[in-house]
């Protein structure tokens, strides 16, 4: 029999009082190249499609992953791209839980941490693909989102599209943090 009225309210209060709260880690993600909401340097812009950056992934560092983290995934996405579905600039997954950052240029050199893999960007290739918004399209937001995952390795092949990586990442995320850079031409 289900409690009703004030008995139902008392039952709910007692349940909440004895149910442990879920404690999320306060993960941090930082870059020496830009602050959250700051401008993405030209070094991180694409070299092609009319852009003349150096196409170097920014250095990133992170801390305070939640207990149970077995690996990380980094997803870089521009929701402002005029495609109807945004633009995926980089996906790196199976980053070992012992890793706390990536150096500048790792997406260009391919010198990823041992075991880490990359998915295909919307440029059609593996590796970091820098910012290259259309001219006079206004500011674009480049979301660097780090996910702490509950698996050592995602059950996907290397060279899969970003959408598939994202699907599997979201199915295994314990916590995530986003660092956003702005870029326009």
* Largest distance between two CA atoms of the chain: 70
Could you read off the pLDDT of 121-168 as tens digits, one per residue?
Answer: 999 999 999 999 999 999 999 999 999 999 999 999 888 899 999 999
Of 104, 91, 90, nearest to 54 by C-alpha is 104
Provide the pLDDT for residue 110.
67
Of 39, 64, 63, 32, nearest to 53 by C-alpha is 39
CA pair distance 2, 18, nearest whole angstrom: 19
Fold exhibited by the domain 25-183: Phosphatidylethanolamine-binding Protein (3.90.280)
Name the percent of the chain lying above pLDDT 70. Answer: 86
Of 71, 97, 28, nearest to 165 by C-alpha is 71
- DSSP secondary-structure letter at 113? P
The model's pTM is 0.85
Please identify every stretch of the chain with a pLDDT value under 70, giving residue numbers as ranges.
Answer: 1-25, 110
Provide the pLDDT for residue 159.
81
- What six digits make up the tokens of 54? 């150096």
Provide the pLDDT for residue 4.
52
Provide the pLDDT for residue 108.
73
CA pair distance 134, 37, nearest whole angstrom: 20
Place of tokens 């997406």: 107
Provide the pLDDT for residue 5.
53
CB 148 within 8 A of CB 25: yes
Provide the pLDDT for residue 56.
96
């Amino acid at each position: 029999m289900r409690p009703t009225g004030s008995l139902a309210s008392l039952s709910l209060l007692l349940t909440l009082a004895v149910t442990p709260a879920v404690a999320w880690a306060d993960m941090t993600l930082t870059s020496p190249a830009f602050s959250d909401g700051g401008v993405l340097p030209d070094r991180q812009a694409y070299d092609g499609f009319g852009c003349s950056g150096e196409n170097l992934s920014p250095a990133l560092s992170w801390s305070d992953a939640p207990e149970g983290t077995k690996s990380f995934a980094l997803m870089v996405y521009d929701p402002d791209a005029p495609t109807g579905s945004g633009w995926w600039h980089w996906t790196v997954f199976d980053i070992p839980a012992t890793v706390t950052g990536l150096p500048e240029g790792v997406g260009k050199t391919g010198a990823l941490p041992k075991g880490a893999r990359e998915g295909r960007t919307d440029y059609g290739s593996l590796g970091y693909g820098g910012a290259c918004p259309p001219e006079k399209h206004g500011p674009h937001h480049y979301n660097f989102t780090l996910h702490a995952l509950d698996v050592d390795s995602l059950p996907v092949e290397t060279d899969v599209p970003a959408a598939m990586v994202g699907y599997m990442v979201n199915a295994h995320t314990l916590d995530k943090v986003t660092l956003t850079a702005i870029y326009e031409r």
